[in-house]
Amino acid sequence: MPLGRRELLRASGAAAVTSLLPACEPPPPPPSGRFAWGVASGDPTPRSVILWTRLAVSEAETLEVELFDDPEARRLVTTASATAEPSRDGCVKLDVEGLAPGHVYYYRFRALDGVSPMGRTRTLPEGPLAQVRLGVVSCSNYAAGFFHVYRHLADRPDLWAIVHLGDTIYEYADGEYGALRALDPPGLCLSLEDYRRRHARYRTDLDAQAALRQHPLLAVWDDHEFANNASRDGAPGHDPVTMGPWSDRVAAARRAFFEWMPVRDETRVHRALVLGDLARLILLDTRMDERDPAPLDVADWNREDRRIVSDAQERWLVDLLSESDVRYTLVGNQVLLAPFPAMNNVDAWDGYPAQRGRVLGAIEASPAPVVVLTGDTHSSYAFDLPGPGYDAATQRGAIGVEWGASAISSPTLASDPREAERVLLAGTPHLRFTEQEHRGFVLLDLRPARARAELWLIDDVTTPDAAPPRLVRAFETTAADRACREVDATPSRLDGAAPPPAP
Whether the pLDDT of residue 388 is over 50: the answer is yes
Per-residue model confidence (pLDDT) at position 273: 98
Per-residue model confidence (pLDDT) at position 27: 56
Which of 13-17, 131-135, 421-425 comes out lowest in average pLDDT?
13-17
DSSP string, 50-63: EEEEE---SS-EEE
Per-residue model confidence (pLDDT) at position 14: 37
* Of residues 260, 313, 305, the one with CA closest to residue 282: 313
Q: What whole-number distance in Å separates Cα of residue 322 and Cα of residue 313?
A: 14
Per-residue model confidence (pLDDT) at position 18: 34
Which of 18-22, 170-174, 248-252 comes out lowest in average pLDDT?
18-22
Per-residue model confidence (pLDDT) at position 47: 98
Q: How confident is the model at residue 28 (pLDDT cuts 50, 70, 90)?
A: low
Per-residue model confidence (pLDDT) at position 364: 98
Question: Mean per-residue pLDDT for 192-220?
Answer: 98
Q: What is the pLDDT of residues 64-99, one digit of tens each?
A: 999 999 999 999 999 999 999 999 999 999 999 999
Beta strands in 22-160 (DSSP E): 39-42, 48-54, 61-68, 76-84, 91-97, 104-111, 114-115, 119-122, 132-137
Residue 143 identity:
A
Q: Given strand 39-42, what is the order of strands in its sheet?
A: 91-97, 48-54, 39-42, 217-219, 161-164, 132-137, 439-447, 450-458, 470-477, 485-487
DSSP string, 284-352: ---SSSS---S-SSHHHHT-TT--SS-HHHHHHHHHHHT--SSSEEEEEESS--S--TTT--TTSGGG-
Q: What is the pLDDT of residues 279-327, one digit of tens each?
A: 999 999 999 999 999 998 999 999 999 999 999 999 999 999 999 999 9
Q: What are phi and psi of 13, to 5 degrees?
A: 80, -5
- Which class is domain 5-44+124-487? alpha beta
* Residue 102 Cα distances to 274, 412, 418, angstroms: 11, 38, 43
Question: Mean per-residue pLDDT for 100-116?
Answer: 96
Per-residue model confidence (pLDDT) at position 32: 58
Name every residue whose Cβ is closer than 8 Å to that of residue 262 and which is 6 or more positions away in sequence. Answer: 40, 41, 42, 43, 50, 51, 52, 93, 212, 216, 217, 219
Q: How confident is the model at residue 21 (pLDDT cuts 50, 70, 90)?
A: very low
Q: Return the SS3 of 162.
A: strand
Mean pLDDT rounded to a whole number for the chain: 94
Rg (CA), the chain: 22
Whether the pLDDT of residue 482 is over 90: the answer is yes
Asked if the bond preceding 27 is cis, omega within 30° of 0, the reply is no
Q: What whole-number distance in Å separates Cα of residue 439 and Cα of residue 457?
A: 6
